[in-house]
Amino acid sequence: MNKKQIIVADDEKDIVELVSFNLEQEGYSVLKARNGRKALELIKVKKPDLVILDLMMPEMNGMEVCRVIRGNADTAEIPIIMLTAKSDPLDKILGFEIGADDYITKPFHVREMIARARSVLRRSERKPDTDQRELLFFAGLQVDLRSYRVTLDGKPVELSSREFKLLHFFIAHPGRVYSREQLLDRIWGDESFVEPRTVDVHISRLRNEIEPDKENPRYILTVRGIGYKFTDG
């Protein structure tokens, strides 16, 4: 059985060595990077199972690297744990907004890091219960799971990684109503620091991109007192 491969990227040598050593003790294969550009090079070539990414690194910071990973169809599904000395909640929100799967603040206990890594890897292995077709269509809207492209009436639509996952989930389950809590569980998993209001924010942004009239949505409908659904009409 092949070992899971993890890339650890941090400009602090001691942290890289500590995290790498303990991951290797757990049976993982580890590659190391000391700056964002090197991390991105490794990620594009190796396609690891997980990236542990420091926020503040030279050449390219963690946010920039995360955006590039999520914007490339070949790497968009690679799980990312953001590692940072910053504890500002806004930094956590921004990290999740651009596609981080988890967020750990320094200083941290190494066993916590191992547990988080194991949890994120386990989530990434789950097969979603959504439709597995590579192309999904509905009334002028097309979601291409091979290239991570969305088009509306033939015109490209730019979505973040999270918005894409949300749209994919909705269009694969037309007519079914989901509460905010259910959507958090299906799209965000067991990530920390995610509130139900996050769902409203992402749906509002998604509507901005795909709805001709956001005030009278055609695709993603609000079911008052319950949650949201993708139209079956």
Q: How far apart are CA 231 and CA 233, in angstroms?
A: 5
Q: Which pLDDT belongs to residue 126? A: 54
Mean pLDDT for 173-196 is: 76
* The pLDDT of residue 94 is above 70: no
Q: Which pLDDT belongs to residue 72? A: 78
Q: How far lies 133's CA from each of 137, 142, 157, 168, 181, in Å? A: 10, 12, 20, 11, 26
- Overall pTM > 0.75: no
Q: Please state which of the four CATH numbers 3.90.1150.10, 1.10.240.10, 1.10.1040.10, 1.10.10.10 is assigned to the domain occupying 135-230.
A: 1.10.10.10
| Among 134, 95, 121, CA closest to 189 | 121
CATH 3.40.50.2300 in the chain, residues? 5-125
Which pair of structure tokens corresponds to residue 161? 């990684």
Q: Please write the tens of the pLDDT for every residue from 114-139.
A: 998 988 888 777 544 444 457 777 77
Which pair of structure tokens corresponds to residue 130? 């959504």
Q: Please state which of the four CATH numbers 3.20.20.210, 3.30.70.270, 3.40.50.2300, 3.40.190.290 is assigned to the domain occupying 5-125.
A: 3.40.50.2300
pLDDT-derived band at 38 (thresholds 50, 70, 90) equals very high
pLDDT-derived band at 96 (thresholds 50, 70, 90) equals low
Q: Which pLDDT belongs to residue 147? A: 75
Which pair of structure tokens corresponds to residue 162? 């999270």
- As a whole number, the mean pLDDT across the chain is 83
**Position with higher pLDDT, 162 vs 207:** 207
Phi (first) and psi of residue 201, to 5 degrees: -60, -45
Q: Which pLDDT belongs to residue 131? A: 41
**Position with higher pLDDT, 201 vs 95:** 201
Distance of CA 185 to the CA centre of its chain: 13
**Position with higher pLDDT, 224 vs 89:** 224
Mean pLDDT for 170-198 is: 77
Q: Please write the tens of the pLDDT for every residue from 50-70.
A: 999 998 898 899 889 988 887
CB atoms within 10 A of CB 84: 21
Q: How far apart are CA 224 and CA 101, in angstroms?
A: 29
CATH 1.10.10.10 in the chain, residues? 135-230
Phi (first) and psi of residue 227, to 5 degrees: 165, -125
CB-CB contact of 78 with 98 (8 Å): no
Mean pLDDT for 158-183 is: 84
Residue 222 host element (H or E):
strand 220-223
